[in-house]
Structure 1
Amino acid sequence: MNSPQNIYAWEQSRAIIDIGSNTVRLVVYGGPPRAPVTLLNEKVTAKLGKHVAETGRLSEKAVGGVLAALARYKALIDLAGVPQVDVVATAAARDASNGAEFLEKVRAIGFAPRLLSGVEEAETSATGVLGAFPHAAGIVGDLGGGSLELVDVADGGTSHGVSLPLGSLRLPALRAKGDRVFVREIGRMLAKADWAAEPGTDLYLVGGSMRALARGMMVRLGWPMEDTHGFALPAAEALKLARQLARRGQALQPIDGVSSSRLASIPDAAALLAVLLQRLQPGRVIFSSWGLREGVLFGSLSDAVQKEDPLLAGVMAFVGGMAVDVALVDAAAEWMADVVPMARTPLGRAALALCLAAGRVEPNLRRGLPADWGLAKRWVGVDNAGRAMLAAALRGSVGKVQKDAVAEPWARLAPSAALAEARGLGLAARLCRRMSAGSAAVIRSTRLTVEGGHLRLTSAVPQLIGDGSSRDLKELAQHLGLAV
């Protein structure tokens, strides 16, 4: 599953079907187990749990929509030869009086659904967050259609998971009772569940409505990224934005990547978040695209695989199809590490791998790589500042670095010193790539050193160092404040 040619192989993939209260979704994953690649992500917004709070039952119309979607998913999976399928059902099937009858119909299609308890749902979502943020510590809040799950995460584990009837399908009716009742009811539910949090911790937010809310916040901030995964804000700033977006009666403008149904859910999700921020008093809010489905995947991995660096695993799988492997990255990292120490770090190695792969891309496509690979492509195990550093490194490796680095779109995402270090790595990668033609053996035949304030490139085969390499060496030296 790790070899480049198998990343998109259906016969080596794994499918997760999530029967939620709002949507029923099929996601097929391939690629490296630690950083899976999404081969297919298909959903049907059946709103299975829409009337459960009022009637206690799943409606025939919603059940019919879900079963039709599942029949299609079954046909796709069987014909494509997907070898492993996990089906999980959550709040709607759990809370409805006819939930068991519904699950029997799911079994009749040929699936073996697993009904998660509220605590299991909370812990599985939190496990997904831990897969994307290995050092996560704080609270995970997963807003689904039928419920809100809250769970503590720390030291790679979960605890105190609860499920509250505060899903996105239930919020409109609760808000219609007035803001005071809305706030009071949420507080009552938290108190009844005996759920509180230590002030100042991180709050990780999961779920489609929360991702839509994140996009709304990003648009208001003029954020230079569209991917919500890893988007983080101080709690005070998040509260201010949540209050703005929660206002009743406002017509939100369409947002790229947000469906009309998700757009409509933003005010209620924002109102819920505002109450949670006031009650739980976190120090920071972080949005995660990894949740329940990824938790099912990550929880099934061995301890050894779970401990792999997810960013490096994802990057190496991505560049493998461009003839960049571990041996080449190792050789390049060792070659430049004394000059660019960042190359010794996991983030630096990931950036270096991308910079080396950039040389395999058509020249007319390279200019967009910093934004495309650094900011737009989803990576896990890296925050927005780290993604900005990936972009800065790629800028150094594929094009001229702007004299006014503040003008780069990612300049606001990371400290200027960190971005300068990343640009240096990119410049060194460009020199390495041009000089060696992407050959580890050629890299090992040369040395890059600093001697008495001068940057030196030497080789047992001097003919390897051509005019292009000399220009790259000079530009790297200037960036580092060295002579040549």
Structure 2
Amino acid sequence: MISTSQGRLQDRRPLSIIDIGSNSIRLVVYEGLARSPTTLFNEKMLAGLGRGIVSTGKLDPEAVTRSMEEFRRFRALSEQVGAEQMYVLATAAAREAVNGPDFIQRAEDVLKTEVQVLSGRQEAHYSALGVISGFHPANGIAGDLGGGSLELVDVDGEAIGDGITLPLGGLRLQDMAKNSLAQAAKIARDELERAKLLKGGQGRPFYAVGGTWRNLARLYMEMTSYPLSVMHHYEIGIDSATNFLKQVAKGEIEKVRGIEGVSKNRRSLLPYGAIVLQEIMTAMQPSKIIVSALGVREGFLYSLLDKAEQKADPLISASEELARLRSRSVTHAHELVEWTGKTFAAFGIEETVDEARYRQAACLLADIGWRAHPEYRGKQSLNIIAHASFIGVDHPGRAFLALANAYRHEGIFNESIAPEIKALATPRYIERARVLAAVMRVVYLLTAAMPGVMPRLKWESRGNGVLALVLPASLADLYGERPAGRLAQLARVTNRRLVLAVEGGPNMPAK
């Protein structure tokens, strides 16, 4: 029997995926099937199955032997974690190699389950679903660069448009070019001429999927001292990317600052990944490059969800999970979502769709740091939120979520809070984070973080521009100087005249 701690969601049933790629083989065990999947265990090996396949037509013999040994271990690990279902997916190398069928049969014998060999169309489909699942919404061209192939697909919201599979994976391109970077650029250019869908991506984002491109992005983060080491939804401007890619495409990677952060086994493929991305940028003319941490595996999981679950907001789902796991009362968190919405409306604060989503998520996350020492709750919460494995949120939005929680704990006028995170947020987001935090600071003193009070609070106009926060008479004992003082902070940050009042009783001006 597998013992689970209270840090796990008890209604989830673990499942695992083994992803057999041309370069790497990875085992990922997920906590359960969910809109925003959480990883319980993750391990990979760089097998290099597709190395030399262009010249031999076969999977690398040594890699095959090593893979079988790892499959045995991966199966044991999957069972150890308690996965009730194991899915095995194989991509380009396994489907194209002459000895691919024999390899698959041996793998099935070791893993004791069916291996799904994805066609190029299926691989592109699941990759597109991975991008669709990770952004809210996606609208551009998704490109998944593996060791053996490149899948390009047009995505727009939940719609999957034209797609194509090209033999431009890093290992394959290296083999086809016979280690010549100049020849690799010519091959990539010629192959991408067949990808007519790239023309339809002009002025739209390009979503970069796959380990080689993520490592390029990580290298660029290091080189530019980017303050947040979160890969998903990391955006790179076209102009700033051009010179960087040009340097890497020349094979001068050892000179690039931060290269020590990329494993030596991965470094040899970085120039080829840079070359392919350069040629895509030339052919497509995208508005920007956005890195996606989600690909075929996550797209496959997304396909297993029912339609209602697929339509759920992944950021809200993940925030809800954290509230269930770490807050004093998830019911209080939901009341805070509703009450802050009414408060913003009473104050005449308009929200975009994303601003409303981010406010909702911030409210769900507002109490996740309560177990920390009071002096460190803000810092701990900020770090958890800023670096959480959230999807459906860009980096400025992530900064808003973290700052709202930090201001709530450390004071809305504390200018020393996380300057590196503030640098990622827009001025509007910083101001919204202060306002939301100020509202939270008022209401937490009235509710003690427990449900039942907020639904009974209301805002009333008292004339002359005065807005009163009114407690019902039955809650008159909550009336006092401390909440009035916090209301004064809210008045200051919103430039409004506010009073704390009891229904049928006294008013206490916010001072």
The aligned residue for residue 142 of structure 1 is 144
% of aligned pairs identical? 32
Contact 1:123/1:159 (<8 A) preserved: no
- Distance verdict in 2 for CA 1:260–1:423, change over 3 Å: farther
- Secondary structure (helix, strand or coil) at the match of 2:383 reads helix
Contact 2:407/2:414 (<8 A) preserved: no
In the alignment, structure 1 segments of 5+ residues that lack a partner are none
Q: In the TM superposition, what are the counterparts of 1:347-362 in structure 2 within 5 Å?
A: 347-362=358-373
Please, what is the CA RMSD of the aligned residues? 2.7
CA distance in 2, matches of 1:94, 1:302: 29
2:264 equivalent to 1:260: yes
CA distance in 2, matches of 1:40, 1:431: 40
2:191 equivalent to 1:189: yes
The aligned residue for residue 457 of structure 1 is 469
Q: Which moved more, 1:337-346 or 1:16-25?
A: 337-346
2:72 equivalent to 1:58: no
- Secondary structure (helix, strand or coil) at the match of 2:420 reads coil
Shift of the alpha carbon at 1:98?
Answer: 0.2
Q: 1:374 aligns with which of 371, 382, 385?
A: 385
TM-score, length basis structure 2: 0.87
Contact 1:151/1:160 (<8 A) preserved: yes
Shift of the alpha carbon at 1:56?
Answer: 1.1
The aligned residue for residue 500 of structure 2 is none
Q: 2:394 aligns with which of 359, 383, 388?
A: 383
- Distance verdict in 2 for CA 1:281–1:437, change over 3 Å: same
Q: 2:216 aligns with which of 213, 218, 231?
A: 213
Per-residue CA distance 1:285-313 (angstroms, 9 max, x = gap): 11000101001100111110000110000
Q: Which moved more, 1:361-370 or 1:159-168?
A: 361-370
- Secondary structure (helix, strand or coil) at the match of 1:441 reads coil
2:205 equivalent to 1:202: yes
Q: Which moved more, 1:192-201 or 1:68-77?
A: 192-201
CA distance in 2, matches of 1:4, 1:310: 24
CA distance in 2, matches of 1:26, 1:437: 44
Q: 1:166 aligns with which of 165, 168, 182?
A: 168
- Distance verdict in 2 for CA 1:179–1:21, change over 3 Å: closer
- Distance verdict in 2 for CA 1:10–1:319, change over 3 Å: closer
TM-score, length basis structure 1: 0.91
CA distance in 2, matches of 1:15, 1:429: 39
- Distance verdict in 2 for CA 1:450–1:297, change over 3 Å: farther
The aligned residue for residue 73 of structure 2 is 72
2:227 equivalent to 1:224: yes
Contact 1:22/1:47 (<8 A) preserved: yes
- Secondary structure (helix, strand or coil) at the match of 2:171 reads coil
Letter in 1 for 2:17: I
Q: 2:250 aligns with which of 224, 247, 251?
A: 247
CA distance in 2, matches of 1:331, 1:9: 23
CA distance in 2, matches of 1:233, 1:326: 36
Q: 1:417 aligns with which of 413, 428, 431?
A: 428
Letter in 2 for 1:189: E
Contact 1:388/1:411 (<8 A) preserved: yes
Shift of the alpha carbon at 1:175?
Answer: 5.9
Q: Which moved more, 1:18-27 or 1:244-253?
A: 244-253
The aligned residue for residue 45 of structure 2 is 44
The aligned residue for residue 313 of structure 2 is 309
Letter in 2 for 1:117: S
Shift of the alpha carbon at 1:352?
Answer: 0.9
Per-residue CA distance 1:225-245 (angstroms, 9 max, x = gap): 101100113323322332233
CA distance in 1, matches of 2:368, 2:382: 15
- Secondary structure (helix, strand or coil) at the match of 1:106 reads helix
The aligned residue for residue 490 of structure 2 is 476
Shift of the alpha carbon at 1:206?
Answer: 0.5
Q: How many pairs does the alignment contain?
A: 482
- Distance verdict in 2 for CA 1:468–1:48, change over 3 Å: farther
- Distance verdict in 2 for CA 1:6–1:365, change over 3 Å: closer
CA distance in 2, matches of 1:406, 1:283: 32
